[in-house]
Structure 1
Amino acid sequence: MSVDIGIDLGTASVLVYLRGKGVILKEPSVVAFDRDTNVIKAIGEEARLMLGRTPGNIIAVRPLRQGVISDYTVTEKMIKYFVQKAVGRRMFKKPRISICVPSGVTEVEKKAVEEATFAAGAREVHLIEEPVAAAIGAGIDISKPCGNMIVDVGGGTSDIAVISLGGAVVNTSIKLAGDDFDEAIVRYMRKKHNLLIGDMTAEDIKIKIGTTYPLVEEERLEVRGRNLVTGLPKTVTVTSTETEEALRETTSQIVEAVIAVLEQTPPELSADILDRGIVLTGGGSMLRGLEELIEERTGIHTMTAEDPMKVVAIGTGQFVEFMSGRKDF
């Protein structure tokens, strides 16, 4: 029996879609290994908990940076581990894997993803651009000659594309996304409160009270970190208004990129987008106020896809079926 697998190989997390079963695996793309022996200690959630908490000889790394492979061997082992975990070790025939890449990657970067997937045990590898996968996963029929705008805000990259007839007409990929939101919060806390916090704490702030648009009612959160003046642990109360201030620069760059794509869109497709609106996907799109911010700046109705985290993985998995449908056609 052969299996068809779709992998959303993200900077922050890896999702695996199995044909007929849906998304069956979602784990952070983090690998922890022993520097002295080069033995992998943990992969996924177990390794994520080690980030910033390991002794000198064990390091927890993210083998993907801004949607691109930065450590080839570790990525290969990580893909192999996730495929085996999803399918089980007993495979009579090697699987057919479709895997997504950001829309702005070079041929060399595509080749690296392809080779790592083949090395992880794939029979066939199909590469698919993230916005196209996101559109399929969001339930949009992309085979029609009709303009659909997708803004996929992931962990390392934001992909913005206008899709028609199964491909991207205008697209751009910027290296600004969820991780940059975390970094912006870390910088703000250091500058405003003299408090040093880790990436995991920053992510916690982003998820709990983070917003890019003024909220009706202000929210507060107690944050613990290290005081940069005394060097001792310290607790500070942060408000949602402060997160809006911290994230303003990063989010406005994403909005600028959306406007730039709209400016290059052919007029017929612009009319379609005005009718259909802009669809947000990816984990970064769950940041509160992003919908309102884009809608306010562009004047186009903006909505977030249902279950935005899984959309790209679902679309990647269904892409094989979509392609076989086109072959029949």
Structure 2
Amino acid sequence: MLSLITSFLPSLPVWLTLDANPLDSLLQGLVGACGISVLCNLLRVHVFLEAESSSNKSSSKETSMQKKPRHQASAKIGLSGTLQFLFLSVMLAVVGSRVASLVVLEFSLRAVSAWVTAGPDSSWFLQQLLVQCQFSLGCALSCSLHFLHEGAPQRWLCLLLAAGLSWFLASQTGRLRLHVIALYKLHSSQRYCGVCIALLTSGCSLLPHLIRALMLSFAVAAISAISIINKHFLSATEALRFWTPLTICYTLLVVYMQEEQHRQPSGQAVINTVVVRLGGLTVLMLTVGRWADVLHILLCFLGEAGCLIPSRDLLDATTQDMEEVPRHSQGSENRRRHLTPGKDHQS
């Protein structure tokens, strides 16, 4: 029976075969999905703490009522969260290491450009960039594991251990998110829970620590991605023919996307950005790539949609923070203008 099943395997198209053992690919996809889950849970905890601190500082009730809808919808995990986790695990397992490496390099270039050109709006823009990097983070973890465990004699055992640790971290951050959303107000006011007291005193450092962890992850993934892509070339001329249009194309795309997001910082603009950058990568792969790469890029479209659509509340939260900054600055400038003529008249 087993020989009958394996006799059909050579007839499968080349673009449907995985780069590695199916078990190894599945474990790598599981680690990537756990990393996305950890990122989303910690981001929602940060958004909740930021909303609670701003509502406590404000004296009007309308401000606190406007802050609540941003995190109320994220209090439930349920069946949709489980289906999203399984979907992302399969997508990251099926996407090849070559396309995953390209996604990692594209996001690294976009992140560096965003960090350089953000300017005074760096706080809200970094939060929006963290929401956008979910699928890229999964690809980064998958590339790093593929590179670090390549040629290991017991590769599946190492990946199984990494998947177990990732599952533990994802479950712990999920419990933290549910605990904070349900009991943070009560525990922080009564000084009852150690976790809530720690978040009350040092919750502002959660986002900087998360950014440092992501920078380290993408730094390792960028080195792994360059090594993985260069293995597919037989000569330096072929590698140069690939890297030159890739660098020029994505430099232009990054500049265009930065201007678009500064001009229209909304959730729809983020989705448009995903379509533009993956569309550019598709065109590039049609010229210098393979048909397997084109199919994997189409799967990346589904993976990005599976990350961004359930995270619309996080995108709305970052957009709302961006819209409130000019209002506060405009209000302080108006108060300054009202006070200045009075002082001049008295003098």
Q: Which has the higher helix share?
A: 2
The verdict on a shared fold, with TM-score over 0.5 as the criterion, is: no
Q: Which has the higher strand share?
A: 1
TM-score class, shorter-chain normalisation, is under 0.3
With normalisation by structure 2, the TM-score equals 0.25
With normalisation by structure 1, the TM-score equals 0.26
Q: Based on CA coordinates, which of the two structures has the bigger radius of gyration?
A: 2
